[in-house]
């Protein structure tokens, strides 16, 4: 269900964010100021030794200056604990002592139906478990013993057996009073207009219950015992409970194992020493690894990893390890994982790739050779950048300028899909460095390619500033800042917002459906421009009042009625001068969404940097007052680094905002 903004604000205001976070961290006594509601701790999202995770009760927000995570009460619970948004709201409401709003009758009916379906799935699980221990389950028990599984492991994962019968499960459930409609809704039988009599979907198969994040059985995977079966593995079909692309096998158990942490040196630890999540290919891989002591493994459900499944991994850890077989199929699957992850990379969010020996899967490896070889495979996991590089040069010949230019173009094309500007820039630099070293090694130190490649990289970096090379800043950062100030369009005495804020606001006004697709992110945007702050509150109120029925025309009409017509017209003109067409009404929805996400990433990065700068200045003042001379030099160096990054972002915005004036197309202060 959706919640009104007033209800969310009420429960947020009643519960200090430090109370929510305190259950998961230990506050640093030296940096925390309880009287001000200002708290610091080591980040629970990534491993670190010194506290860089900050939360402030007054603002109701948290931010980590190490990995970049940020959010409010609800975001903390959804990201760290994997709760759904309604579950997070329920937990905060309970802490606040506020009753949840009553759902509408239809939603309440659906929830009751869902609960009853979970009860049916639990009965089916018990039936399959019991059948495994019966006489007709002897062959299945023998197979599991041959695979090296112990009785405890079988019990832990609640493995079972579906007998070779068309109606054994159906009759069992009917005997328990379960109706035909519920059995069909759970996907336990095959039915339809062309099926005269429904029959059990799973027959003569070893059964693997699939659990939700709340550890309820929502589906099954079945492994055929007969070699002649059309499908070796069969999953439940899509149901009200189960959407295959949104679920990971063993998710809840792996999340618990990761939260509990591992001893230093244990399998599945990332470079910072914090436990991570390992994604393998199948049910048996997960189970065999668990039995060998590797409890933080998950698997997609018989298909390639999906975007939603990758997002689930990132909710548990900033750098999951994707583990693939070393054969041709495994390498192709790894390359699909590369392409899946690249567009979604952010600071503190990446993946690593562990490639098994050719012909081995995790199950084979730990069963035949024990855990140590698998530990070594994980220790040798490759970074995403290394996977990209190896894929592009694998088996290629680069003995002519044309082939080297083709390699250069491919690398640029691959890294261009990364939405986050900062990560994209660093990947581009990494690929340039690798290419330079590679060409030097293969050509005996030819310098021409390096200079040519660097020129190409600079030209690519100037695309957003207009044709050709980006404008030169001959007067240093101060001159650029002045240009940034001059470049804002002026209407009367009212200066329009920064171009970044205008893109965020106008994109939503022109494409209000984005507001509902990305509500958790959008509703927390903080604007610096005062009129835009008021306008944004009106947008959110309109969304709450109209829901998904809200149209562009209806939203614009409501904003006009509340006196924001002049502001909307001004930022629309600003957007058109800058030629940022993805924010206009004419843009396709998918293009608008892409442009919005890029602008949001830049906006969040800028906010984070200015927040970090203020905190460092505060720490520096405190250290100076306390006479902590050892801390001052390091704080100064860090502050200078942050200031440099702030200036770099300002320079970038100056180029973007000043484009219309500098190109001579717009009459403005710089053109007069």
Domains of the chain as residue ranges with CATH? 5-96 (3.90.580.10), 105-242 (3.90.980.10), 251-389 (3.40.1360.10), 402-461 (no CATH), 476-662 (no CATH)
Of the given ranges (67-71, 442-446, 562-566), which has the lowest mean pLDDT? 442-446
pLDDT in tens, 103-130: 666 666 666 676 789 999 999 999 999 9
Q: How far apart are CA 544 and CA 85, in angstroms?
A: 16
In 225-351, the DSSP E strands lie at 233-235, 278-279, 297-298, 321-324
pLDDT score recorded for residue 482:
36
pLDDT in tens, 365-398: 898 888 889 999 999 999 999 999 999 988 788 8
pLDDT score recorded for residue 515:
76
Question: What angle do the packed helices 401-415 and 421-443 form, to 10 degrees?
Answer: 160
Burial of 512 (0-12, 13-18, 19+ CB in 10 A): buried
**pLDDT at position 271 over 70:** no
The residue with greater pLDDT, 522 or 373, is 373
Overall pTM > 0.85 = no
pLDDT score recorded for residue 35:
72
Burial of 387 (0-12, 13-18, 19+ CB in 10 A): buried
Mean pLDDT value across residues 494-500: 70
Contacts with 229 (C-beta within 8 Å, 6 or more apart), sequence order: 204, 205
Band of the pLDDT at 669, cuts 50, 70, 90?
very low
pLDDT score recorded for residue 476:
36
Cβ atoms 189, 198 nearer than 8 A: yes
pLDDT score recorded for residue 109:
65
Cβ atoms 320, 312 nearer than 8 A: no
In 2-40, which positions are buried (b, 16+ CB within 10 angstroms) versus exposed (e)?
Answer: ebeeeebeebbeebbbbebbeeebebbeebbeeeebbbb
**pLDDT at position 316 over 70:** yes
pLDDT in tens, 179-193: 999 999 999 999 988
**pLDDT at position 459 over 60:** no
Number of residues in the chain: 672
Contacts with 451 (C-beta within 8 Å, 6 or more apart), sequence order: none
Q: What percent of the chain has pLDDT over 70?
A: 82
pLDDT score recorded for residue 495:
58
**pLDDT at position 75 over 80:** yes
> What is the DSSP pairing of strand 297-298 with strand 278-279?
parallel
The residue with greater pLDDT, 142 or 578, is 142
**DSSP character for 259?**
H
In 520-557, which positions are buried (b, 16+ CB within 10 angstroms) versus exposed (e)?
Answer: ebbbebebebebbeebbebbbebbbeeeeebeeeebbe
Of 419, 442, 520, 413, the closest CA to residue 88 belongs to: 520
pLDDT score recorded for residue 3:
77
């Amino acid at each position: 269900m959706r919640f009104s903004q007033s209800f969310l604000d009420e429960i947020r205001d009643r519960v200090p964010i430090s109370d929510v976070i305190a259950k998961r961290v230990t506050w640093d006594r030296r940096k925390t100021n309880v009287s001000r509601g200002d708290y610091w701790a080591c980040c629970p999202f990534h491993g670190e030794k010194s506290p860089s995770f900050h939360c402030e009760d007054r603002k109701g927000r948290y931010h980590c200056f190490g990995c970049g995570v940020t959010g409010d009460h609800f975001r903390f619970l959804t990201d760290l604990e994997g709760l759904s948004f309604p579950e997070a709201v329920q937990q905060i409401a309970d802490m606040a002592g506020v009753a949840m709003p009553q759902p509408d009758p239809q939603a309440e009916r659906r929830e009751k139906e869902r609960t009853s379906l979970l009860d049916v799935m639990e009965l089916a699980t018990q039936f399959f478990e019991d059948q495994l221990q019966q006489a007709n389950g002897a062959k299945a028990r023998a197979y599991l013993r041959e695979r090296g599984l112990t009785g405890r492991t079988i019990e832990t994962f609640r493995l079972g057996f579906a007998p070779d019968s068309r109606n054994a499960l159906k009759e069992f459930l009917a005997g328990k009073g379960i109706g035909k409609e519920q059995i069909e809704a759970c996907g336990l039988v095959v039915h339809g207009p062309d099926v005269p009599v429904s029959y059990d979907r799973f027959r003569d198969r070893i059964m693997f219950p699939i659990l939700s994040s709340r550890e309820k059985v929502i589906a099954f995977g079945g492994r055929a015992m007969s070699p002649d079966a059309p499908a070796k593995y069969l999953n439940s079909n899509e149901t009200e409970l189960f959407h295959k692309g949104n679920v990971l096998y063993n998710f809840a158990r792996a999340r618990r194992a990761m939260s509990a942490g591992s001893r230093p040196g244990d399998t599945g630890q990332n470079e910072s020493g914090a436990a991570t999540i390992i994604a393998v290919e199948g049910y048996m891989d997960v189970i065999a690894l668990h039995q060998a002591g590797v409890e933080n493994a998950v698997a997609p459900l018989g298909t390639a990893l999906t975007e939603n499944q990758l997002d689930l991994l990132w909710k548990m850890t900033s750098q999951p390890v994707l583990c693939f077989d070393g054969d041709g199929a495994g390498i192709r699957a790894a390359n699909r994982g590369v392409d899946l992850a690249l567009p979604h990379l952010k600071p503190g969010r990446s993946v690593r790739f562990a490639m098994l020996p050719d012909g081995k899967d995790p199950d084979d490896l730990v069963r035949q050779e024990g855990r140590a070889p698998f530990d070594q495979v994980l220790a040798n996991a490759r970074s995403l950048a290394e996977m990209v590089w190896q894929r592009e040069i694998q088996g290629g010949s680069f003995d002519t300028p044309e082939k080297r230019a083709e390699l250069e173009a491919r690398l640029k094309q691959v890294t261009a899909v990364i939405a986050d500007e900062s990560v994209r820039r660093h990947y581009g630099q990494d690929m340039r460095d690798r290419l330079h070293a590679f060409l030097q090694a293969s050509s005996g130190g030819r310098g021409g390619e390096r200079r040519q490649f660097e020129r190409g990289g600079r030209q690519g970096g100037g695309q957003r500033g207009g044709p050709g090379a980006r404008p030169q800043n001959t007067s240093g950062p101060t001159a650029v800042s002045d240009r940034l100030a001059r470049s804002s369009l002026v209407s009367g005495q009212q200066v329009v917002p920064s171009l970044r804020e205008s893109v965020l606001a106008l994109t939503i006004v022109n494409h209000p459906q984005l507001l509902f697709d990305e509500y958790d992110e959008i509703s927390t945007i903080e604007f610096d421009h005062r009129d835009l702050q008021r306008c944004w509150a009106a947008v959110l109120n309109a969304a709450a009042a109209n829901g998904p029925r809200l149209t562009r025309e209806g939203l614009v009409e409501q904003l006009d009625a509340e006196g924001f017509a002049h502001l909307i017209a001004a930022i629309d003109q600003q957007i058109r001068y800058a030629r940022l067409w993805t924010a206009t009404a004419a843009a396709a929805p998918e293009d608008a969404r892409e442009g919005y996400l890029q602008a949001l990433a830049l906006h969040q990065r800028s906010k984070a940097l200015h927040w970090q700068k203020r905190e460092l200045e505060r720490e520096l003042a405190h250290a100076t007052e306390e006479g902590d001379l050892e801390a001052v030099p390091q704080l100064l160096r860090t502050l200078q680094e942050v200031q440099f990054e702030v200036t770099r972002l300002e320079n970038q915005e100056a180029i973007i905002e000043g484009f219309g004036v500098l190109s001579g197309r717009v009459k403005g202060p710089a053109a007069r």
